[in-house]
Amino acid sequence: MIRAEGNRLAHLANGQLRTRASDPLPQRLAGLADALDALLAEHRPAAAAAEEVFVNQNPASTLKLAHARGVALLCAARAGLPVGEYAPTLVKKAVVGTGGASKEQVHAMISRLLPGTKIAGPDAADALAVAITHAHHLASARRLTR
Protein backbone atom coordinates (compact mmCIF):
# COMPACT_ATOMS: atom_id res chain seq x y z
CA MET A 1 0.00 0.00 0.00
CA ILE A 2 1.18 3.45 -0.84
CA ARG A 3 0.01 7.03 -0.42
CA ALA A 4 0.31 9.29 -3.44
CA GLU A 5 0.11 13.07 -3.07
CA GLY A 6 0.93 14.88 -6.27
CA ASN A 7 4.24 13.47 -7.45
CA ARG A 8 5.19 12.22 -3.99
CA LEU A 9 4.87 8.56 -3.07
CA ALA A 10 4.97 7.22 0.48
CA HIS A 11 5.10 3.58 1.53
CA LEU A 12 2.38 2.51 3.95
CA ALA A 13 2.67 -1.28 4.04
CA ASN A 14 3.65 -4.31 2.01
CA GLY A 15 3.73 -8.03 2.50
CA GLN A 16 2.74 -11.38 1.14
CA LEU A 17 -0.29 -13.32 2.31
CA ARG A 18 0.40 -17.02 2.55
CA THR A 19 -1.91 -19.97 2.97
CA ARG A 20 -1.11 -23.61 3.66
CA ALA A 21 -0.71 -25.51 0.41
CA SER A 22 -2.18 -28.58 2.11
CA ASP A 23 -5.50 -26.82 2.82
CA PRO A 24 -8.37 -27.25 0.33
CA LEU A 25 -8.63 -24.40 -2.19
CA PRO A 26 -11.96 -23.04 -0.85
CA GLN A 27 -10.46 -22.79 2.65
CA ARG A 28 -7.34 -21.06 1.30
CA LEU A 29 -9.47 -18.55 -0.63
CA ALA A 30 -11.63 -17.87 2.45
CA GLY A 31 -8.48 -17.21 4.48
CA LEU A 32 -7.24 -14.85 1.80
CA ALA A 33 -10.56 -12.99 1.82
CA ASP A 34 -10.49 -12.66 5.61
CA ALA A 35 -6.92 -11.30 5.55
CA LEU A 36 -7.67 -8.83 2.75
CA ASP A 37 -10.87 -7.64 4.43
CA ALA A 38 -8.89 -6.99 7.63
CA LEU A 39 -6.19 -5.06 5.75
CA LEU A 40 -8.77 -2.94 3.94
CA ALA A 41 -10.56 -2.18 7.21
CA GLU A 42 -7.28 -1.26 8.92
CA HIS A 43 -5.79 0.95 6.18
CA ARG A 44 -9.00 2.26 4.54
CA PRO A 45 -7.52 2.92 1.09
CA ALA A 46 -9.25 5.17 -1.43
CA ALA A 47 -8.64 2.82 -4.36
CA ALA A 48 -7.26 -0.59 -5.25
CA ALA A 49 -5.31 -1.96 -8.18
CA ALA A 50 -4.65 -5.45 -9.50
CA GLU A 51 -2.44 -7.01 -12.09
CA GLU A 52 -4.24 -8.81 -14.88
CA VAL A 53 -3.71 -12.57 -14.98
CA PHE A 54 -1.17 -13.75 -17.49
CA VAL A 55 -1.15 -17.29 -18.80
CA ASN A 56 2.06 -19.08 -17.97
CA GLN A 57 3.29 -22.56 -18.83
CA ASN A 58 1.40 -24.17 -15.95
CA PRO A 59 -2.38 -23.88 -16.50
CA ALA A 60 -3.13 -25.12 -12.96
CA SER A 61 -1.01 -22.32 -11.45
CA THR A 62 -2.68 -19.76 -13.71
CA LEU A 63 -6.11 -20.95 -12.59
CA LYS A 64 -5.18 -20.76 -8.89
CA LEU A 65 -3.80 -17.26 -9.41
CA ALA A 66 -7.05 -16.29 -11.14
CA HIS A 67 -9.05 -17.57 -8.15
CA ALA A 68 -6.93 -15.51 -5.74
CA ARG A 69 -7.22 -12.46 -7.98
CA GLY A 70 -10.99 -12.90 -8.02
CA VAL A 71 -11.02 -12.89 -4.21
CA ALA A 72 -8.95 -9.69 -4.18
CA LEU A 73 -11.33 -8.00 -6.64
CA LEU A 74 -14.34 -9.15 -4.61
CA CYS A 75 -12.88 -7.77 -1.37
CA ALA A 76 -12.15 -4.42 -3.03
CA ALA A 77 -15.67 -4.27 -4.49
CA ARG A 78 -17.27 -5.11 -1.13
CA ALA A 79 -15.22 -2.28 0.41
CA GLY A 80 -16.60 0.09 -2.24
CA LEU A 81 -13.22 0.73 -3.83
CA PRO A 82 -12.66 1.58 -7.47
CA VAL A 83 -10.19 -0.91 -8.94
CA GLY A 84 -7.60 -0.29 -11.64
CA GLU A 85 -6.43 -3.33 -13.58
CA TYR A 86 -3.12 -3.38 -15.42
CA ALA A 87 -1.27 -5.81 -17.66
CA PRO A 88 2.08 -7.00 -16.25
CA THR A 89 3.97 -5.49 -19.19
CA LEU A 90 2.31 -2.10 -18.62
CA VAL A 91 3.27 -2.18 -14.93
CA LYS A 92 6.88 -2.99 -15.77
CA LYS A 93 6.99 -0.26 -18.40
CA ALA A 94 5.45 2.30 -16.03
CA VAL A 95 7.88 1.54 -13.22
CA VAL A 96 11.09 0.39 -14.94
CA GLY A 97 10.69 1.83 -18.43
CA THR A 98 10.50 -1.45 -20.32
CA GLY A 99 7.71 -4.02 -20.45
CA GLY A 100 10.20 -6.87 -20.44
CA ALA A 101 11.83 -5.93 -17.12
CA SER A 102 12.87 -8.73 -14.79
CA LYS A 103 11.56 -9.18 -11.24
CA GLU A 104 14.97 -8.01 -10.00
CA GLN A 105 14.72 -4.80 -12.03
CA VAL A 106 11.21 -4.13 -10.69
CA HIS A 107 12.43 -4.72 -7.12
CA ALA A 108 15.39 -2.37 -7.62
CA MET A 109 13.21 0.40 -9.03
CA ILE A 110 10.66 0.07 -6.22
CA SER A 111 13.54 0.43 -3.75
CA ARG A 112 14.51 3.68 -5.49
CA LEU A 113 10.97 5.03 -5.70
CA LEU A 114 10.20 4.17 -2.06
CA PRO A 115 13.57 4.66 -0.33
CA GLY A 116 14.01 2.98 3.03
CA THR A 117 11.20 0.51 2.39
CA LYS A 118 11.82 -3.08 3.44
CA ILE A 119 10.16 -5.03 0.65
CA ALA A 120 8.79 -8.42 1.75
CA GLY A 121 9.82 -10.25 -1.42
CA PRO A 122 9.36 -10.26 -5.18
CA ASP A 123 5.57 -10.57 -5.04
CA ALA A 124 5.37 -7.62 -2.64
CA ALA A 125 7.60 -5.59 -5.00
CA ASP A 126 5.25 -6.47 -7.86
CA ALA A 127 2.24 -5.37 -5.80
CA LEU A 128 3.90 -2.05 -4.95
CA ALA A 129 4.68 -1.61 -8.66
CA VAL A 130 0.99 -2.11 -9.48
CA ALA A 131 0.05 0.45 -6.81
CA ILE A 132 2.55 2.97 -8.21
CA THR A 133 1.27 2.38 -11.74
CA HIS A 134 -2.27 3.03 -10.54
CA ALA A 135 -1.22 6.21 -8.71
CA HIS A 136 0.48 7.50 -11.87
CA HIS A 137 -2.58 6.58 -13.95
CA LEU A 138 -4.92 8.44 -11.58
CA ALA A 139 -2.63 11.50 -11.51
CA SER A 140 -2.52 11.58 -15.33
CA ALA A 141 -6.30 11.24 -15.55
CA ARG A 142 -6.75 14.14 -13.09
CA ARG A 143 -4.41 16.35 -15.14
CA LEU A 144 -6.32 15.56 -18.33
CA THR A 145 -9.68 16.50 -16.81
CA ARG A 146 -8.52 19.92 -15.61
Binding-site residue ranges for Mg(2+): 51, 123
The three-state DSSP-derived secondary structure of the chain is CEEEECCEEEECCCCCCCCCCCCCHHHHHHHHHHHHHHHHHHHCCCCEEEECCCCCCCHHHHHHHHHHHHHHHHHHHHCCCCEEEECHHHHHHHHCCCCCCCHHHHHHHHHHHCCCCCCCCHHHHHHHHHHHHHHHHHHHHHHHCC
51 catalytically annotated: yes
Residue of 23, 51, 104, 126 with catalytic role: 51
Active-site annotation holds for 123? yes
Among 5, 42, 123, 126, the one annotated catalytic: 123
As annotated, the binding site includes: 51, 123
Q: Which residues are catalytic, by number?
A: 51, 123
